Structures are given as C-alpha cells and as structure tokens.
Structure 1
Amino acid sequence: MMEKRWVYKQQASEEIVKNLAESLKVSPTIAGILCQRDICTFEEAKAFFRPSIADLHDPFLMKDMHRAVNRLTEALHRSEKILVYGDYDVDGTTSVALMYGFLRHYTHQIEFYIPDRYKEGYGVSTAGIEYAAEHGFGLIISLDCGIKSADKVAYAASFGIDFIICDHHLPDNDIPQAVAVLDPKQIDCPYPYKELSGCGVGFKLLQAFCLQNGVELEELFNFLDLVVVSIAADIVPITGENRILAYFGLQLLNGPQPTRPGLDALKELAAITGEMDITSIVFGFSPRINAAGRMGDAKNSVRMLLAQTKDEAFKMADIINESNKERRSKDSNITKEALQMIEEDDFLRNAKSTVLYKENWHKGVIGIVASRCIEKYYRPTIILTHSNGKASGSARSVHGFNVHSAIESCSDLLDQYGGHMYAAGLTLPIENIPAFRERFEHFVSNAITEEQQTPQIEIDTLINFSQITRNFFGIIKQMEPFGPGNMRPVFVSECVYDTGNLRVVGDTHLKLRLTQDGYTSFDAIAFGFGDYYHHISKGIPFDVCYTIEENNYRGNITTQLSIKDIRFK
C-alpha cells in the first residue's frame, strides 16, 4: 500500500481545554477534539451538540434578498411564466427540485430546465435563454450557476427576461446585471455564513419568501432532505448553518415516514440499510444522481426527486440506476486503460504529474478516472478526451497543490480553462497536447513539495484503548453529522496486536480483534490491508490509526474500529 504521512492536528492550550472539559463535564480528550473544531466555550458546544432551526440566519441579511423576494412575489401575483434553471450535478438538480417543488404549489406557470452537459456545457446556456424566450418566460431563477454568466443574463434581458441568480461560487469582477444576485461569496455581501451549497442559497430565498408572505416555514422545512443531499454531494463544510440544515435534513431522511418517494427508491436501489448519514449520501445517492447527467439526461434526476408516488419514483430511479451502471462500467474500463498507459511508459511512470489523452474516452467519467489514477499514483492528474474537435479534460490534484495554477501557467496552449485548487476543467487543440504535457510536468516538478507527493492522514489525538468507553463513543456519535470541517475523529493507539482472530475477507480486507493491554479489545476492519496479514499474524505489535464506528450486523450493534493505516514497530 502507498505510504501515508500521519499529521497530528494542533492542540489548543491546556487551560482552554481544561475549562471546556469542566464546563461540559467531559474528558480532556473530548474537550481537545472540540477545541480543534473551534468549539471552545459552553455556548459554542451547546449550539454544536443541539442544533436548532431557530439559529438559522435571517435570510434578508443576504445582499439583494429583498429585491429577489419582491420580484418572485410579483411574478407569482401576475401569473408570469417562471423557468427554474439549474446545473446538471447533484447540487444543481436538488436545487431545481427544491425551488420547483416548493413553488408549484403557488403557480402552474412554472417549468424547470437543466442544460445538456455535452451540447450546452456548464452554467447558463444560450440555448436555455432562447428556450425561455420562445416559450414566453418572464423570469428565470438560476440555481448553483449564473454568477459567471453576465453575458447570458444580458442576452436574456434583450428578450425582456429577468434573472434571479442563486449561486455559491466565487464571483468574477463582472457581476451579472440581474434583478437580484444571491451569492454570499460576493465581497460586499454581509451574510454571516459563506459556505452554503447552491441548494442552500435557494433555500434561503424560499425562507425569505415564506417570511415576507406569511407562509408557514414548516412547509419549507419538508424540503430539507434535498438540502442535506446537496450539502453532502457538493462537499461543502458541515459547520455553522450547513450543520443545522444537514442535521434536520438527515432527520427527515431517517424519519419513520419517508417524505420523498424518489429518495426512498434510491435508498432501496443503493441497498442502504440502517440510518442514512453524510457518507451514505456521498457513496449511495451522489453517484446515481450525477450519473443521469453524465450518461444521459439530468432532468431524470429532477423527475425522480419530484415524484409523488412510489411507482413514479421507482420508474425514474431505475432509469438513473441504469445510467449509474453504465457510468461504473465506463469508469472501470477507462481507469484500467489509463493505469496501463502509465505503467507501460517510463516517462509517465516516473513523472511528477499525469496527463493522458485518448479520443474515445467518455467525457462524463474522466473526472472520476483522474481521481482513480491519484489513488494509485498520488500526483496532479489530467485526463483528456476528444470533444467537438478539441481535447477536453478534467484535472484533479493532491493535498496542498494548486492544479489550477499549474494549468494557468500553460494558458497560451489552451482555448479555455477554469476551476479551483483541487479540480479544474480545460479545453485545448489536440495538436497542443504534447507541448502541454511537457510544460505542465515542468511546472509541477518544480513546484510540488516532497510532502505533497505523499497522502496524509489528519489525526485528532493519541489515545489508549481503555479510553474508548460507552460514554466516550456516545459523545463522539453526538458530534454527527460528520463531513468537511467536522470530520469523524481520527485516533492513534500505539503498540496494539491481534488476539488471534485475524482473517482475510473479500480477498483484500482484514478482520481483526485488536488489544493494547491484553484486557481491552475491539473488533476492527481494515479495507485494502490484506497484504499485512502475515506480519500481523506473527503477533508483532504495531501502531494503528483509526476511526470508531458502529457495526450493525443483523441487528447486533457493536463498536468497531475502522483502520486507516498501520505502522509496524
């Protein structure tokens, strides 16, 4: 297995930890973990452990919110045709389902529009504007896109179509001249929480609409299951307001009566048993919802999310599940081809970066393939394929390395590019690929550090097995939902060994029973550590890095350690 760096998070001062431990009546270990998450006072801990809908921010603090609500209310009163426009990924489709699903109770003059990934590309499209013009729409509400569409908003205005933009991406200097631009990342937006998903910004617009028009907020809160799916899938921090939205969204998903047949159908097709959490959304829901846009028509995801009967929900869920099977097949085959290309080429094998091109690779999965290549060769990776006479690609990066800057250094070879530190897209003439590969490699090899070439595991703290009591794990569980900004705590315990129950499962995984002192022992699972069997079976002590989880096997719930890495003495 690839060697990993163990990086311990910085600890707060002893005095702060001691004061928090005393005020909460918890162990210093728990208090230290909370302080690492900027939860250092009793009040902060109370808000963290007991999320409250009442703590959601006033939506009218967001720049342009009054203008947005007034324009939406006016459109409803005048029975104007409203087009709800969203991106083709999970955040975009959940945003559209939220906005359309809520507003259809107030007007029949409403449709939704998702651009075709391959014909129209990302964001607001010319084709979408022209569709709105041809069909007499007076207002477009864009969700999870629009902040960088100043030219398209101007084009819509030429047809007399107004825009309300709900976005969460970083704006350019050229802000669209829309009726209202809702994006907390605007420099002059005073909204206190900046990390909402696109669906979260749409939720704030509807929250403001309810408050201004005397609509019961409970009606809107029934859509929080869509908001938590967007939060999980878009990998936004699960802190502050997102934590509140995610907490109550998960309550809806796990409630006794499923409120959304589409998500219930998806849960069944993904074979998810037990309670949903952020991880099960990311691995169970996200790939399937995304697959509709990658392999076919993203509108099918919206139709599934809006389905009002079980039959309709399963019909649409089956379609997107088939799209996901196709996606997985292409993803697997292309990944094998890509890895083989690296392994058979001395330059590619020894390079600090990966740039691969094959004209018949499916554009919808190349970003996934780039991520898969990084799992094997941990380095900045770009996968390119043929699209409309050009090479079009997706880039992914490793921890701490800015792949967008590396691509920018080759901008004279490119037609266009965009993205951020860890993920980007680019288009270039096919004949420029060799020069681009050479220039990109030169930049990466000069800029990347030795540390950035080794995957790291962030560790909260060192503990002994004896500290893992029922009460200790109970408090860890109350820290859910886990995700970016509030990851499941990672622990290290030293000098542990297997009690003799070691076995290989599923060819490459290990099941263990670990003990540290001969008395306290725990079941453990180590995915992908099959090669360690012989060392561990000899009874050699080792250090282990892990998270603590619950294992629910046929209704029997036990505490289990999920192994992240092993180091032998």
Structure 2
Amino acid sequence: MVKNIKVRRWEILGKTSQKTPTLEEIEKILLKNRGIVKPKDKKEFFQPTHPQKLSLKDLGISPDQVKKVRQRIAKAQKSGELVIVYGDYDADGICGTAVLWERLHSLHLNVLPYIPERFSEGYGLNEKSIKRLKEENPNLGLIITVDHGIVAGAKVEVAKALGIDVVVTDHHEPGKKKPKPFALVHTTKISGSAVAWILAREIKPSNEGLELVAIGTIADQLPLIGPNRAFAKHGLDALRSSQRLGLNALFQEAGIVKDTIGPYEVGFIIAPRINAMGRLTHAIDSLRLLCTKNRERAVDLARLLSRTNLERQRIVEEVVLHAKGETLKKKGVIILAHESYHEGVIGLAAAKLVEEFYRPAIVISKKGDIAKASARSISGFNIIAAIRQIEDLLIEGGGHPMAAGFSISTGKIKEFSKRLDEISIPLLTEEILTKRLKIDLKIGFANLGQKLLTLVDSFEPTGLGNPAPVFLTEGVGVVDARVVGRDSTHLKLTLMEGENKLEAIAFGLGGLYTSLSPDAKIDIAYALEENTFNGNTNLQLKIKDIKLK
C-alpha cells in the first residue's frame, strides 16, 4: 500500500515590503491572491450583485432559449397538459427541482416533480422511465430537466418520439455532441439549482428559493467567486431567515444555530443529510422535506434524513477501510473495483481516498454485467477530460474537472484502467502530486486584532476558489502546549511573537506535542477566528500547519 502523503509545500502567494503592513495593504494582497484587482471587481466581491439583477448574458445563458421556454410554459398553462420537472438525486438537483416545481405550481400549471431512483434508474433521463411516465400519464407533454441532460441526446430523442417536448436545464460540461431538445438552458458558470432558479425568475420573478440555491451551490463544491458568490452570499442570508418547515426541523434535529449558518454548516451538516436519501434509499423524501407545509411531517422527515445519514457514514467507512486494504498502484489514478462497494457512496469513498493519498481516485461498484463508477480528482488534473479520451469504453458518463461519474461494462474495467494509466501517468507529475498549503501573506502578531478579523470576515462566504485567508508568522514561541480531544489528536497552544501573546488550536496535529518545548520556535500557518468560552470572546488562531525550527 502506498504511503499517505503528509508533506505539504507552503506556497506564499503575496509579498509585502513592510514588516507590519497596513490593513489596506493586507486587503489589497488578499484580493489580488483571489484574482481581484480592478475596482469594479472589488466592489462586486464585497457587495455581490443580487441574483435578481444578474443578466442572462453575464451568466452565459441564451436569452432566445429562455424565451422559447416561456412560450412553451404559456402553452402548457392553456392546454392543461402534464409538465414534469425531472430532477437529480443529489443536493443541487433536489434543491433546483424544488425551486422550479414550486414556481410552476404557483402559476397553476399541471406540474409534478420527479426524482429518479439511483439504483434502478440511474443518473439523468432514463428511457424506460420516460416511457412509463407517458403510459401512466397520456397527457404528459413537457419534461424539464434540472441539473442534467446536456449529455442525454439519445434520451431526449426517445421523449420526442413519444410526443413529449424536453427542456434541458444543466450546468455540466457538454460532450462532443449536444442534445437537440425543444430548448437548452445551459451554462457552466453556476450550479444546476442556480440555472433552475434563473429560469424560474424569467418565468415569474421572485426571490423565493434562494436559500435552496445556496445549499445546491455549496454542496456541489463550486468556486465561490463571481455569480456563484452572489448566489451563495444572498442565499445564505435567505437560509438564515428561511420559513421552510422542513429546513427548520432539520436545523433543530442537527443542532444548528440558525443565525450562524455558513458554508461549513451547509457543506458538512445540511447537504450530507439531503444527499443521504438518494445515496441509500430514495431522494424523493429529501424533496418532500424541502417542500412540505406540514409541521409534523417536517419533523418526521428531518429525523429520517438524519438516521439515513448516520447509516451512510457507517457504509462509507466500510468501503474506505476495504479500499485501504487493497494494494494500490504507485502511479497514475487510483482505481478500485469490488462487488461489496455500495453504489450510493462510491463518490464519497473516492473523495476520502483523494484526501488520504492526494491522488485522483475512481471507485467502482461491480454489480453484474454493468458497473457504476465515481471519480474525484486533485487540482491540476482534469478527470472528466481524461475519462472522455476513452469514452468508447463507457456506457455513459459526465461530470466536472474535479468530479465525474460513469457506467461501464464490468468486463471492460481492466482495459479502462490500463488506458487511463497511459493518459494519467505522464500528467501526474511530482509537481501536481505535491500537496500545497497556499498562504496569503507573512505577517507578525502585531498585525492581528479585531480590525483584521473584521476584514477576514468580509471575505465570507469562503470555500473553493475563495478560501478563508491564511497567514504565516515565523519564529513563534511556544508558551504552553497541551493535547486535547479524543485520542489526544489536537493541540491547544499559547503562543508568543514579539510582545503579543495569543491562544491557538491545531486540529489533527497532536502528534507534534512531544516535539514542542518551552524554548521551541515554530513557524505557523493559520486562519483567524473568534472563540467564545464562558461568555468571553477572544481572538484565536486556527492553525493549518506547523514547521519546527
């Protein structure tokens, strides 16, 4: 088994000529590190445009295609035909389905939401499901996809042959051949739920549903810059004041303080619960949670989602434990296939392997003749581009540069692995496989205080593309150190630099405890945060990494 890569290269992004830079200079460097230099971009970053004012042109969405959708919706209103909003079973797709279904329902259309069952129907449009829906509902005249469809050209043709118009709304990377639906509302600039929200806005203007777009955007791990930042920031504001019974029941069940909800709460507490249903059972219950008007039903569904998420966590650990026991290749993409791997969690297992070994990983669930695969990547290696080079071996697939999914004949897995090695090994250089800790700026403790913390807070919401600012201070003295947490995995430190003394917490770095002594000098990379304990609020350093002198 290959060794876990622990070494991280510190990469300092910004430089200053002053030992104690001004707050204005720090702000300028932090913005430049995120590609923000022009005054208008700075204004947009700190005061993101409300999604109501984002133009179709700026988002890369065709106004002509949206106009066609509006006309088709008007026709459906008059005819009374059935419209189905055909979503996806992940958090982004479920949230987008809720947004679009609720908006069309408010226009008194004959409209139903539909979420496919992962294991029997799979991702996106399913030929058998389209035929069954038409048989059960002869008046079905329009299907609107949410968060899928850009690679479903053949399925669109099946629907058209049955007399069903299809509107595709999607944000995934297109394949070599685009589908030919009635209308195509597509851009890669925003999330699937955001595309659905924009279409809903164009059909009937309203701010409703922005809280769901924040969940979808953060859950899909999109870069929180540009329009995604606008959706995340304004959507989080809406989430903190949401009156949705299901979401409020979920907050209570999960122990979330509503007015403190940020990217962490969405990404690690809310979204995993919404996703859990589609991974293990059926995502329709997550949709019901978002849309229910019944308080008791909301509580029951919130408990169901939480229970299912606990079961999901247990199954992921089983898969990862088994995968770690396998003999992993020392070069190229990690590819693991087994009959025991639960199809609903292979993406999470792949992500865990990437985190552990810092190499792209594909985990494949073998079930009979057809296997389902999920891929996760690292910065600098476009996983979907690599997979597309050998798509002649695949049944179907799609995704992003950092994540992808596909199905493949079980008998072709070995050849797939061999050909992917030929593609990936030359590309996965030592440079790309070296994990980096990007540091914004080197400063001293004299710079640290409430004003800098206020500046740091103004960069929220942070995440991919806009990480929380990280600083470096060298030659820091260790006044006090102790291990905390279960199995003594964390460090609680009192540190001093110059005349300034500060408290710090270092998660996962408890193993360094024996190397620290009262006269030790260390370099620390850290983020700033407030820590409230026993009613007292103080500045605290959240340490990312430590280098011993």
- TM-score norm. by structure 1 comes to 0.87
Distance 1:446 1:40 in 2: 35
Contact residue 83 and residue 132 of structure 1 kept, 8 A: no
State the AA in 1 paired with 2:190: L
- Tell me by how many angstroms 1:227 deviates: 0.9
Distance 2:529 2:315 in 1: 33
* Aligned mate of 2:8, from 4, 10, 20: 4
1:27 match? 24
* Aligned mate of 1:512, from 493, 496, 506: 493
2:243 match? 259
Distance 1:298 1:54 in 2: 27
Distance 1:36 1:81 in 2: 50
Secondary structure at the residue paired with 1:228? helix
Secondary structure at the residue paired with 1:365? helix
The runs of 5 or more residues in structure 1 that have no matched partner are: 15-20, 186-194, 211-216, 343-347
- Tell me by how many angstroms 1:564 deviates: 1.2
Check 1:66–1:434 CA distance in 2 against 1; reply closer, same or farther (3 A cut). closer
Once the two structures are aligned, what percentage of the paired residues are identical? 33
- Tell me by how many angstroms 1:401 deviates: 2.3
Residues 478-530 of structure 1, C-alpha deviation per residue, up to 9 Å, x if partnerless?
1211122222111111111322143332221111122222x222222211111
Contact residue 147 and residue 176 of structure 1 kept, 8 A: yes
Greater mean alpha carbon deviation, residues 551-560 or residues 394-403? 551-560
Distance 1:221 1:377 in 2: 43
2:508 match? 528
- Tell me by how many angstroms 1:90 deviates: 0.7
Residues 301-331 of structure 1, C-alpha deviation per residue, up to 9 Å, x if partnerless?
1000101233221211222222211111110
Secondary structure at the residue paired with 1:222? coil
Residues 31-62 of structure 1, C-alpha deviation per residue, up to 9 Å, x if partnerless?
11112223334443333222342872234773
1:289 match? 274
Is residue 2:244 matched to residue 1:250?
Answer: no
Greater mean alpha carbon deviation, residues 323-332 or residues 105-114? 105-114
Is residue 2:297 matched to residue 1:312?
Answer: yes
1:498 match? 478
1:209 match? 203
- Tell me by how many angstroms 1:449 deviates: 0.9
State the AA in 2 paired with 1:304: L
Distance 1:308 1:393 in 2: 37
Write out aligned runs for 1:306-385 (5 A): 306-342=291-327, 348=328, 350-385=330-365
State the AA in 2 paired with 1:66: K
Write out aligned runs for 1:167-316 (5 A): 167-185=170-188, 195-210=189-204, 217=205, 220-255=206-241, 258-273=242-257, 275-316=260-301
Distance 1:352 1:150 in 2: 32
State the AA in 2 paired with 1:358: H
The runs of 5 or more residues in structure 2 that have no matched partner are: none
State the AA in 1 paired with 2:122: G
Check 1:11–1:104 CA distance in 2 against 1; reply closer, same or farther (3 A cut). farther
Higher relative contact order (CA 8 A, sep 6+): 2
Distance 2:510 2:250 in 1: 32
Contact residue 479 and residue 518 of structure 2 kept, 8 A: no
* Aligned mate of 1:163, from 162, 166, 190: 166
Write out aligned runs for 1:99-114 (5 A): 99-107=100-108, 109-114=110-115
- Tell me by how many angstroms 1:413 deviates: 5.7
The total of aligned residue pairs comes to 534
Check 1:444–1:168 CA distance in 2 against 1; reply closer, same or farther (3 A cut). closer
Secondary structure at the residue paired with 2:93? helix
Contact residue 56 and residue 244 of structure 1 kept, 8 A: no
- Tell me by how many angstroms 1:178 deviates: 2.1
Contact residue 173 and residue 400 of structure 2 kept, 8 A: no
Distance 1:386 1:71 in 2: 42
Distance 1:87 1:391 in 2: 20
Secondary structure at the residue paired with 1:398? coil
State the AA in 2 paired with 1:467: N
Check 1:409–1:171 CA distance in 2 against 1; reply closer, same or farther (3 A cut). closer
Residues 272-297 of structure 1, C-alpha deviation per residue, up to 9 Å, x if partnerless?
23601112100011111111111000
Check 1:243–1:399 CA distance in 2 against 1; reply closer, same or farther (3 A cut). closer
- Tell me by how many angstroms 1:362 deviates: 0.6
